[in-house]
Chain A
Amino acid sequence: MAFNILVVDDSETMRAVIKRTVGMTGIGVGEMLEAGNGKEALEVLADAWIDVVLSDINMPEMGGIELLKKMKEDDVLQNIPVIFISTESSHTRMDEAKKLGVAAYVKKPFMPETIKEIMIDVLSKAYASRINEVSEEGGDNQVDDEMDF
C-alpha cells in the first residue's frame, strides 16, 4: 500500500532530509509533496489526496499549529493525520498540539528509526479507522488483517 505524504518545512534542506528519511523507512510511498509553510500546505491539500502530513511548527506566514487548526476545522482534512517534526520541545507547545489532535510529535534532531516507528504507528491507526468507516457503511472492502508496509 502506498501513501501520499506532504512534507511542510520552511527549510528546503530539511524537507529534502525528511523526504530522504521517509524513503529509507521502507513504507510504501506514492507521491511525496512539499510545502514551505502552512499556507502553501493548505493549497497542496486542496488539490491533492494526502494520507499524512509531516510538518514543522515554526514557519513564516503560517506555522504548524495554525495549519493543524485549519485542518481540524475542515470536514475532509480533519481526518488526515499530522505529525509535527520540530526543534520546539516545550511542554506548553506539545500540550497545545495534543489538544488540537496532532497524531505524533518528533523532536529534532531525530533518528531515522524514530520517523519509521512513528509513521508506521500513525498510518496503522489512521488506516484502520478508515477501513472501519467503510465497513460500517456496508462497502465491499474487506478489512485486511495484515498491514504490509
Chain B
Amino acid sequence: MEQGIKVKIGESAAEVFSTMYFMPVQVLEDIPSEENWNLDTRYISAKISFTGPMNAAVCFFFPSIMAKNIAERFLGIDAADISEQQALDTMKEAANMVIGSFLGKVDPEGVCKLGIPIAEFISEFSPVGSDSDAELLALISEFGYLWITYSG
C-alpha cells in the first residue's frame, strides 16, 4: 500500500475513534506476527467503496469486543442493551466516517463519490484469508487489533 494512503487512513481512523468513541487507535507500521493476532471468535465486517479519479473498496474487521465498546460509547447505552442491528449500524457509520474523513484529506475538491457502507457478522476471520488482492492494515487499540483491507 502506498505509504501516504496508509498514513492517511490511520490518521482518519485515529481522529474518528478518539472523537466519537473516546478510543485511541494507532496504525501499525508492520502487520503483527501471527502469534500476536489474538483473533476474536466473532467479527463485524463493514465494507465501503468510493469511485472517481480514485477507486477503492475498504473493509474493516472489528473484533466483537471492540464493536461492543464502540457501540456502547457511541450510543451511550450499556453493551448488554445493544441490539445486533445497532452494532451493525454503528460499524457501518464508523466505516463511513473514517473513509469520509480519509477522502477529505486525499480529495479535497470532493470529486470522488463515497458509497453506502454494508456490515455483517462473520464468524471466521483471518488476516491471511482476507482478499489476497487487497492491502492489509492493522490498527492497535485497547480492545485488540482492528484489521482493514484496502483494494484500490
Contacts and interface: CB of A to CB of B under 8 A. Distances in A.
Given A11-B89, A108-B97, A109-B20, A91 B110 contact: yes
A100 interface: no
A90 interface: yes
A20 interface: yes
Interface in B103-146: 103-104, 107-111, 114, 116
Interface string B1-40: 0000000000000011001100000000000000000000
A109 B97 contact: yes
A90 B110 contact: yes
Interface majority SS (helix, strand, loop, mixed), chain B = helix
A88 interface: yes
B68 interface: no
How large, as a class, is the contact surface on chain B? 20 to 34
B110 A93 contact: yes
Contact of A109 (B75, B89, B101): B101
A13 B82 CA distance: 11
B108 A12 contact: no
B74 A17 contact: yes
B24 to A, nearest CB: 14
Nearest to A59: B116
Given A90-B104, A109-B16, A110-B19, A14 B109 contact: no
A107 to B, nearest CB: 8
B74 to A, nearest CB: 6
B90 interface: yes
Interface string A104-121: 000111110000000000
A55 to B, nearest CB: 15
A142 to B, nearest CB: 39
Please provide the 6 A-B residue pairs with the shortest distance between their CB atoms, ordered closest to farther: A90-B110, A87-B100, A13-B89, A89-B104, A109-B19, A109-B20
